[in-house]
Amino acid sequence: MQNQINEIIAQRRSIYPKEFTGEKIDKQVLETLLRNANFAPNHKSNYPWRFVVIADASLESWVDKAAEIYQNETASESFNQAKFDKIKHYTQQVSNAIAIVMEREPDTKSIEREDICAVAAGVQNMYLSLSQFEHVGGYWSTGMGTYSKAMFEFLKLNENQTLLGFFVLGVVENKRTEGHKKDFNTFVSYL
């Protein structure tokens, strides 16, 4: 078990839409990810995460919305047609996206950064859960209009909710597990 968990953590990778085949992933995979996200630590058991599953017809509308946002909210001198086309092409690659939302009650005493951390822990659980599915990959995207009011409205979020990105999922033929990582000691000091 100890070796297994270390290996799962070390081999976790972000897998991107260019690597997806366009096939649909099983509903059971989505359920597993969402169930495991819900086991993340969260202060005072306040469950600050909300996940909005984007599937089937809504996937196309989501991609269209993200492309529209990119077009409307990018200064013309920075607009990149290849990037626009890349977003549009997600309809041929991505199976599902899960909008990652933080929700905080208006009179809450919880601390915002703690709630952001808890949601991120939930997303890490999703990432790690992918290890059991040989042909499913995904990554956390803060693109696709994450910071746009238009995407907030598209997802029908309310003023107590903040969009923290999307977990973008697809089928892959062979899952990449390699990737250069710096030595952990670089980021550790002892007092």
Toward ligand FMN, which CB reaches closer, 117 or 150?
Answer: 117
Shortest reach from residue 106's CB to ligand FMN, in Å = 25
Yes or no: say if 157 and 80 are a contact pair by the CB < 8 Å rule: no
Q: Is 13 in the site for ligand FMN (CB under 6 A)?
A: yes
Contact assessment for residue 67 and residue 80, using Cβ atoms and an 8 Å cutoff: no
H helical segments located in 74-189: 81-88, 112-129, 149-154
- Judged by CB under 6 A, the stretch of 23-31, 34-42, 66-74, 140-148 that binds ligand FMN is 140-148
Contact between 14 and ligand FMN per CB under 6 A: yes
170 binds ligand FMN (CB under 6 A): no
Residue 166 touching ligand FMN (CB under 6 A): no
- Choices 66-74, 90-98, 141-149, 151-159; region in contact with ligand FMN by CB under 6 A: 141-149
Q: In sequence order, what are the beta bridge partners of 139? A: 168
Instruction: Using the rule CB under 6 A, give the single segment among 46-54, 65-73, 138-146, 183-191 that binds ligand FMN.
Output: 138-146
Q: How many residues bind ligand FMN (CB under 6 A)?
A: 9
- Does 125 bind ligand FMN (CB under 6 A)? Our answer is no
Can you list the pairs that 127-134 forms with residues at least 24 positions away whose Cβ atoms lie under 8 Å? 127/12, 127/14, 128/8, 128/9, 128/12, 128/36, 129/32, 129/33, 129/36, 130/12, 130/15, 130/33, 131/8, 131/11, 131/12, 132/32, 133/25, 133/29, 133/32, 134/175
Q: Which of 89, 87, 92, 100 is nearest to 162 (CA)?
A: 100
| Residue (of 31, 82, 36, 25) closest to 59 by Cα position | 25
Residue (84 or 140) nearer to ligand FMN, CB? 140
Site for ligand FMN in 95-114 (CB under 6 A): none
The reply to whether 80 sits near ligand FMN by the rule CB under 6 A is: no
Return the residue of 140, 150, 157, 175 that touches ligand FMN, per CB under 6 A.
Answer: 140
Residues that bind ligand FMN (CB under 6 A): 13-14, 139-143, 165, 179
